[in-house]
Structure 1
Amino acid sequence: MRLRPYAWMPWPLRWLARVLTVLLVLALVLAGVLVYTVRRSFPQVDGTLRLPGLSGNVDIKRDRWGIPQIYADTAEDLFMAQGYVHAQDRFWEMDFRRHVTAGRLSEMFGKSTIDDDKAIRTMGWRRVAEQELPQLAEPTRRYLDAYAKGVNAWLSANPDASSRSLEYSILKLQNSSYAPEPWTALDSISWLKAMAWDLRSNMDEEIDRALAATKLPRQRVEQLYPGYPFDEHAPIVTQGAIRHGRFEASARPAPTGTPALFQSAAGTLDRIPSTLGSGEGIGSNSWVVSGEHTKSGKPLLANDPHLSPAMPSVWYQAGLHCRRLSDACPFDVTGFTFSGLPGVVIGHTDKIAWGFTNLGPDVADLFLEQVKGDTYRYKDQWPKLTTRQETIKVAGGDPVTITVRTTRHGPLINDVIGDVKPSDGANAVALQWTALTPGRTADAIFEMNKATSWQEFRQAAASFEVPAQNLIYADTDGTIGYQAPGRIPVRAKGDGTWPVPGWTGEYDWVSTIPYDELPSVRDPDAGYIVTANNAVIDPRRYEPLLTWDWAYGYRSQRILDRLKQETDKGKIDAATMTAVQRDTRNGFAQTLVPELLKIDVAGPAAQARDLLKGWDGAQDQDSAPAAYFNAVWRHLLKLTFDDDLPAGARPGGGDRWYEVVGRLLDTPDDPFWDDTTTEQVKETRDDILRQALASGYQELADRLGTDVKAWHWGDVHQLTLTNGSLGTSGIAPIEALFNRGPFGVPGSKDAVDATGWNAQKGYEVTAVPSMRMVVDLSDLSKSQWINLTGASGHAFHDNYWDQAPLWTKGDLLPMQSEPVHTLRLHP
């Protein structure tokens, strides 16, 4: 007897069952296809593989987190293997980045990215990299070529989209003809321009000042950029001056050393305009403690760069080890790398360790220009503009051609950067930026990777020209140090804080600060060095202008205070360093909370305000006071300044606004307190504070309920790990494949645990400690690290975001873990 499925059912149900069965089968088939497609691109991590071009065997040992330690006998084999490993885990990220830096995103994504390409082609990042590459040292070029060979070996072994990554399979649905090109050394060098742009110092503030001046007189704009509080927040370097053309830590500044440029500011630092040089939320912490204060008697070094969150993280952890150290193979280095670039950017060798924070010098100026036809005015002449044609290929569309015009100051950018508008008799704006001149930063990376002493490290740092960084240093012999490198312009006139007329020639760059004159310190008396984008040195002891636009020292001073507290109690260890990295205290709470508690407020807002009584300023995920304080702070900023400023110049938050509001609290009738939209009423400080208390309560009550004690900061202060390409596609199912979160996080902007957010937009996290590292120079095997996401760039791989839960808690992993996979590459 033949069994007939569903025979017992009435025919309508039989029909429905058959349809459901077919749909289930199709769903299973599609799921199987998806699983196959996803897993096919996962890297091989065990066994052996042939890699043409190697001169000997290379071993790649990975721990459970997918972090590779690479062992080779020659430097070229080492970097070739690094290229192969980066491609295994992150080739889509690398390919996407090189299209960004070349202004070729439209070749991948079509017309939606044309404006991005226009902007980058106008600045000419890749053109500069083309000029830079032949100027690099011969070993650097060899290492770059070896790295490219490794990437291309992987690319050749994975010829179709599904074997490369899930992103390529999805891109095929939109752009079926796209195929990645072979990797080149130029692709690696171009990435350094993107890094420099992200850390480009105060250009955003320069634009913001000009925007604010469209609604306010200049004097009131400068009130929003107060001077650095040197008496309250120490600079990085507290001793030394320039003597005989060199910065010497023991030198005293000359009594007449304040130049005319600083005369108006020397008497009162309040008038110095300043903000975070690298943009809202972007910064970093680093510090080093000498063996004088440690339990081991050797230095400890900590670093956590603050960058925009990315999925996967911008960093890739790796170790690069020559099996036998020699002049031909001098590398034994572990740390954080950039996929697409050989070498280690931040980390330690077998003898030294180093970290970065953004120095934030003023290395970009906007010049207002007068252009007529194909000429521009300069003094009494009208020289010709330099012009070039740039053709942008567009997937699914016709090519787009733009004409890039350049003056002696740089490319004209007002047509491609929306917030840059000509004014004051000008009809164009040029950008002069140090990164648009070829440099040798790539040389510096390899030189630092093989340095064995403070002298060799300083020599290597001399080539680290853009972006200018604060470098901290420690070694196994016990030395600690700080060095400020970078190409920093010297201006004939002006300080770079406002756009200036280019046609007068008065504000031209005339030179750069010599490297030997840049601030440096070795083994300071205090026994520790802290950098957190704060002022490098008091301008009253140092003549060359670095910038006026620093962070205001709330993070750096908190770190200094914590270190002093801990070292006063006794010797410290790595656990102390980690605890300081996790510090969430809000540095402005001690100023603002007492003023809020003085305000009479009625109704439910009074219960919320009572949360602030006795609050210590800690901003943990579960904190109700932190949630309410930050809501009040957000509304206080918006109520005080949004009516006075154009949209592009309104406060996002951060320690510049701590200083601005802190000073306004002492002047209750200042015009900024008045709400200009209420014509019949003149508000004062207390009116705005009262309204901020009420508005902060109402916002959180609407979102979290009326039980104020049940509010949690992490319920509104949340991080979404967003893929930088397809994660913002606007197509929800595709975004769900690549994005992770949201999840609550502690901290806030300008806490040491700096999880930034923008007061204009909400509490969602916009900047994070992108990694954390603590290096123990007494035993490098005890050093620790954590990445924001994970090693893998493949969605659904076990190592795609496996470090994120640990990162959220502030936990660290050992930098040397037991390997669980071994892959041998052979010629």
Structure 2
Amino acid sequence: MIRIFRWLLRIFGALVCLGLIGLGIGYWFLARSLPDYSEDFTISGLSAPVEIVRNSNDVPHIFGSSDADVFRALGFAHAQDRLWQMTVLRRTAQGRLSEIFGERTLATDAMMRRLDLYGIAQRSVQAQDEQTQAALRAYADGVNDWIRQINLGARGRGAPEFFLFSNEIAAWQPADSIAILKLLALQMTSKAQDEVLRARMSLILSPEQLRDILPDDPQAPVMALPKYSELAPGVVPQYTPIRMAEDPLSPFHAAPFAGASNAWAAAPSRSAAGGSLLANDPHLPFSAPTIWYLARLTLSTGSVIGATIPGMPLILSGRSDGLGWGLTTAYVDDQDLHIEELSADHPGEYRTPDGWAPFRTERSIIQVKDAAPVTITLRWTDNGPVLPPSQFDAGTVTPPGHVMSLSWTGLQENDTSMTAAMGLMRAHDKTEAMEAGRLYVAPAQNLMLADQDGIALQTVGAIPARDARMPAQGRLPSPGWQPENRWQGIQPYENNPRQVDPPSGMLGNTNNKTVDRPFPDHVSFDWGDTERIQRWLSLMDAREVHTRESFIEAQQDTVSTTMRTILPLIGADMWFTGEAAPEGTPERMRQRALELLAAWNGDMNEHMPEPLIAQAWLSALQDRLIRDELGPMADQFAHIEPVFLERVFSDTDGAAAWCDVVQSAEKETCTDMARESLDDALLWLSEHYGRNIESWRWGDAHQATHDDPVLGNLPVLRYLVNIRQSTSGGDDTLNRGLTKARGPDPFLNVHGAGYRGVYDFADPDSSVFVTATGQSGHPLSRFYDDLGGLWRRGEYVPMSLDPELARAAAVGITHLTPP
């Protein structure tokens, strides 16, 4: 027996040793792809030596004697830190994800082929001006320089993910950068989904109910619309649930996740130090690493510093010595769906204003890992590509004998958005910056500007010119053969919203409505915010003059206007009513919750229980109000709709009718619905977080999900690559943390400010910025998540153009030298 025990002990010890050796070998192989930031390289094609100085936060400061050399070095640095991320973005735009991920991404690939984003990007290269083409070529050369080093130097295949998936890395091309910009444009619009949703709702709701659940901005009159059944006869209401894009690799997002942002600026007259101020925090889905990458470029027109996206040679939000710029999603109505009638005699033809015409068709083969290739037929009409019925659930509102096509500004051939963005980096003041925006096509953005003398807000991007006779006004799918439904080109750039040096000295945008113009000059009917702008106005008006610190304070503000407005309405008949209930009863829990909420100021602080109670209550209340009318379609309204709840509990235009459950014999009141919803919410919370209300924390439920989109769902690896942080804020706070709203963890923070910057032109080198994770995409790097803690705590790192400051604390200096 002792001998057996000894042998078992020896075998166990041997297995442990073998395991440790295996882990050591695995770590050695994976660590080989970590770049040495102090390594020097000989690079053919450079005109002179280039320095890449990585400061203490791994932010590269690039110094070269020509712009081409600087852009080449940026491509090199991007590839060193984010090659896998860049490869996935490129494959997404090309429709080639399934080659490495299999059938999981087949639907995404098929849709990307139908849109032909990559083909349009290839054809757009020659449309760029000479400087931009040179920059794109130099940047691609820099990426390929690093790929060449990987192939020659046994550098762990370039990233750990290449050990698990295909390690074939095609050479980078100038079109790849344009394709990534178009991919960003696709991610930041949801107007097609909005049209399908409105059409589905119009088939099952009265016009009054539709106005309640899909309201226009309350500051504008509601526009009358035709019934969708009149536009598309033969459509039968379908109640199948909306299929949301759950795959993190998918670029298609519903409205709440389709891009947001904050930006505001103060003129010198409203600045305590006498210099213009600008703050910007773009909102996109969270990931690890974040999509953003900080960099400084020394160009012939002056140094620029700020946020880039790996794959593009652009500072998208940042500053130079004399100009700062930031971006917010403009919510331009840049997409229209068209119902195309098929010929009964010739299936390959569709109806046009001039009769029947053939589709433009092409066959495309999608290679699928571990499966047979899939061949799809791509079809285009004069209005745009034909969508499959599953995309946006368009098939649920498409009449028999018809298909749906998409018009979108992002499909414009010869897209010069890259040239516009390059011109912005080279601009010296707001006037030059606004002129550069003339060439911008997609995504439509609000460009916030600040220079030494003043501030400006300019909407850039193409706005469709629609016919004033268009019955649906671009809000519903419309017959594509009717001339009045077709686009009449693009509106003149001079029609885009613009504000320069307003008398108030303050400009701001939180995706709120920028103009109130009648159709067809309306810009949009659906905006991204009605709540954050109210909080911003109160914070800005609270001070006569502002400082960098007051702008940071506003960026970090977590007070919810929604909670301050809605809770008094829904609890009007519930506060302090009834006798004290016995401990341990549901009634006592309800009373305790109401006591906490009555004393709460609406601050969505991660350490408090009140935000969790309020969020769960309003979510349960909204679902209870709409579930009987909408059935499974209620799932589409998972996020709290503040304007809807305010209309119901204020009984605006009879909206309180939503409180009555249609199927029940009794007539329920809004107070009944509020009370029962609170009980539902408290029951759910007690099951998940225990019965002690005081121990609940919003941050436990509202964790920021900086997850790896590829490895983040794999056992064991998920704990190494995903970055989870307890966070404050909520759906409608300036420090926005949009909740997932679905699934077993509905309050996870999945979308927000992955980048924050505050630029102070009284002392430009005191400007600051930060990203949500870190610079490196390598999980073994110390720069993978080092900025995440600062981001969570509301801290920043210096945004200085002083080269000596960068060198003083450099973690490495890379020299690129010509032979």
Whether the TM-score (by the shorter chain) exceeds 0.5 is yes
Query: Whole-Å Cα distance in 1 between the matches of residues 721 and 636 of structure 2?
Result: 31
Query: Whole-Å Cα distance in 1 between the matches of residues 127 and 773 of structure 2?
Result: 36
Structure 1 residue 52, shift from structure 2 partner: 1.8
Q: Which residue of 1 aligns with 2:798?
A: 814
Q: Which residue of 2 aligns with 1:491?
A: 466
Instruction: Decide which moves more: 39-48 or 222-231.
Output: 222-231
Q: Which residue of 2 aligns with 1:573?
A: 547
Structure 1 residue 139, shift from structure 2 partner: 1.3
Query: Whole-Å Cα distance in 1 between the matches of residues 770 and 401 of structure 2?
Result: 49
1:182–1:647: structure 2 CA closer, same or farther, 3 Å change rule? farther
Asked if 1 retains the 8 angstrom alpha-carbon contact of 2:515 and 2:522, the reply is no
Asked if 1 retains the 8 angstrom alpha-carbon contact of 2:623 and 2:634, the reply is no
Structure 1 residue 563, shift from structure 2 partner: 1.0
Q: Which residue of 2 aligns with 1:366?
A: 337
Query: Whole-Å Cα distance in 1 between the matches of residues 370 and 615 of structure 2?
Result: 46
Amino acid at match of 1:164: G
Q: Which residue of 1 aligns with 2:211?
A: 222
Asked if 2 retains the 8 angstrom alpha-carbon contact of 1:723 and 1:739, the reply is yes
1:353 aligns with 2:328: no
Of residues 490, 500, 519 in structure 2, which corresponds to 1:512? 490
Amino acid at match of 1:610: E
1:685-737 Cα offsets, whole Å, 9 max, x none, are: 11210111111111111121111122111111112211122324xx3123333
1:436 aligns with 2:401: no
1:317 aligns with 2:316: no
1:180–1:47: structure 2 CA closer, same or farther, 3 Å change rule? closer
Amino acid at match of 1:345: L
Q: Which residue of 2 aligns with 1:290?
A: 267
Query: Whole-Å Cα distance in 1 between the matches of residues 618 and 212 of structure 2?
Result: 19
1:423–1:114: structure 2 CA closer, same or farther, 3 Å change rule? closer
Q: Which residue of 2 aligns with 1:697?
A: 682
**SS of residue paired to 2:137:** helix
Query: Whole-Å Cα distance in 1 between the matches of residues 534 and 739 of structure 2?
Result: 21
**SS of residue paired to 1:317:** strand
Of residues 584, 588, 591 in structure 1, which corresponds to 2:558? 584
1:448-486 Cα offsets, whole Å, 9 max, x none, are: 11101222111111112111100111112x221111111
Equivalenced residues, count: 758
**SS of residue paired to 1:288:** strand
Instruction: Decide which moves more: 106-115 or 362-371.
Output: 106-115
Structure 1 residue 423, shift from structure 2 partner: 2.9
1:670 aligns with 2:656: yes
**SS of residue paired to 2:63:** strand
Structure 1 residue 59, shift from structure 2 partner: 0.7
1:214-269 Cα offsets, whole Å, 9 max, x none, are: 432344223212232338xxxxxxxxxxxxxxxxxxxxxxxxxxxxx99869xxxx
1:390–1:711: structure 2 CA closer, same or farther, 3 Å change rule? same
**SS of residue paired to 1:797:** coil
Query: Whole-Å Cα distance in 2 between the matches of residues 671 and 22 of structure 1?
Result: 73
Query: Whole-Å Cα distance in 1 between the matches of residues 95 and 269 of structure 2?
Result: 51
1:370-399 Cα offsets, whole Å, 9 max, x none, are: 123000112461111111111111223322
Of residues 504, 507, 513 in structure 2, which corresponds to 1:535? 513
Query: Whole-Å Cα distance in 2 between the matches of residues 758 and 40 of structure 1?
Result: 36
1:451–1:71: structure 2 CA closer, same or farther, 3 Å change rule? same
Instruction: Decide which moves more: 396-405 or 356-365.
Output: 396-405
Query: Whole-Å Cα distance in 2 between the matches of residues 332 and 551 of structure 1?
Result: 33
Asked if 1 retains the 8 angstrom alpha-carbon contact of 2:287 and 2:705, the reply is no
Structure 1 residue 123, shift from structure 2 partner: 1.0
1:154–1:758: structure 2 CA closer, same or farther, 3 Å change rule? closer
Query: Whole-Å Cα distance in 2 between the matches of residues 37 and 545 of structure 1?
Result: 57
Q: Equivalent residues in 2 for 1:137-286 (5 A)?
A: 137-159=129-151, 162-171=156-165, 175=166, 178-230=167-219, 279-281=255-257, 282-286=259-263
**SS of residue paired to 1:284:** strand
Query: Whole-Å Cα distance in 2 between the matches of residues 181 and 300 of structure 1?
Result: 43
Q: CA RMSD in A?
A: 2.1
Q: Equivalent residues in 2 for 1:369-768 (5 A)?
A: 369-372=340-343, 373-379=347-353, 381-417=355-391, 419-421=393-395, 422-424=397-399, 427-438=402-413, 439-476=415-452, 478-492=453-467, 493=470, 494-539=472-517, 544-567=521-544, 571-594=545-568, 595-599=570-574, 602-645=587-630, 647=632, 650=635, 652=637, 657-667=641-651, 670-676=656-662, 678-728=663-713, 731-741=714-724, 743-761=725-743, 762-768=746-752
Instruction: Decide which moves more: 802-811 or 73-82.
Output: 802-811
Q: Which residue of 1 aligns with 2:97?
A: 105
Q: Which residue of 1 aligns with 2:244?
A: none
Query: Whole-Å Cα distance in 1 between the matches of residues 223 and 672 of structure 2?
Result: 39
Query: Whole-Å Cα distance in 1 between the matches of residues 572 and 636 of structure 2?
Result: 24
**SS of residue paired to 2:339:** strand
Query: Whole-Å Cα distance in 1 between the matches of residues 379 and 776 of structure 2?
Result: 41
1:733-792 Cα offsets, whole Å, 9 max, x none, are: 233332222x32100011101100143441111211111110011122111011011100
Structure 1 residue 77, shift from structure 2 partner: 0.3
1:269-326 Cα offsets, whole Å, 9 max, x none, are: xxxxxxxx9811431100001111212100110001111101110111000014xxxx
Amino acid at match of 2:812: H
Q: Normalised by the size of structure 1, how large is the TM-score?
A: 0.88
Amino acid at match of 1:674: D
Amino acid at match of 1:634: S
Q: Which residue of 2 aligns with 1:826?
A: 817
Amino acid at match of 2:728: P
Of residues 55, 77, 80 in structure 2, which corresponds to 1:63? 55
1:148–1:707: structure 2 CA closer, same or farther, 3 Å change rule? same
Structure 1 residue 426, shift from structure 2 partner: 5.2
1:669–1:349: structure 2 CA closer, same or farther, 3 Å change rule? closer
% identity of equivalent residues: 29
1:756–1:763: structure 2 CA closer, same or farther, 3 Å change rule? same
Structure 1 residue 440, shift from structure 2 partner: 0.5
**SS of residue paired to 1:588:** helix
1:300-353 Cα offsets, whole Å, 9 max, x none, are: 10001111101110111000014xxxxxx2241101001011121110012100
**SS of residue paired to 2:356:** coil
Q: Which residue of 2 aligns with 1:89?
A: 81
Structure 1 residue 158, shift from structure 2 partner: 0.3
Query: Whole-Å Cα distance in 2 between the matches of residues 196 and 530 of structure 1?
Result: 22
Instruction: Decide which moves more: 190-199 or 753-762.
Output: 753-762
Q: Which residue of 2 aligns with 1:273?
A: none
1:825–1:161: structure 2 CA closer, same or farther, 3 Å change rule? closer
Structure 1 residue 592, shift from structure 2 partner: 2.2
Query: Whole-Å Cα distance in 1 between the matches of residues 655 and 451 of structure 2?
Result: 54
**SS of residue paired to 1:603:** helix
Gaps of 5+ in 1: 1-8, 232-260, 266-276, 323-328
Query: Whole-Å Cα distance in 1 between the matches of residues 392 and 298 of structure 2?
Result: 47
**SS of residue paired to 1:619:** coil
Structure 1 residue 649, shift from structure 2 partner: 5.6
1:140–1:460: structure 2 CA closer, same or farther, 3 Å change rule? same
1:164–1:332: structure 2 CA closer, same or farther, 3 Å change rule? same
Gaps of 5+ in 2: 226-252, 579-586, 801-805
Q: Normalised by the size of structure 2, how large is the TM-score?
A: 0.89
Structure 1 residue 819, shift from structure 2 partner: 2.5
Asked if 2 retains the 8 angstrom alpha-carbon contact of 1:637 and 1:651, the reply is no
1:648–1:452: structure 2 CA closer, same or farther, 3 Å change rule? farther
Amino acid at match of 1:285: N
Query: Whole-Å Cα distance in 1 between the matches of residues 91 and 123 of structure 2?
Result: 18
1:597–1:230: structure 2 CA closer, same or farther, 3 Å change rule? closer
Q: Which residue of 1 aligns with 2:230?
A: none
Query: Whole-Å Cα distance in 2 between the matches of residues 733 and 49 of structure 1?
Result: 36
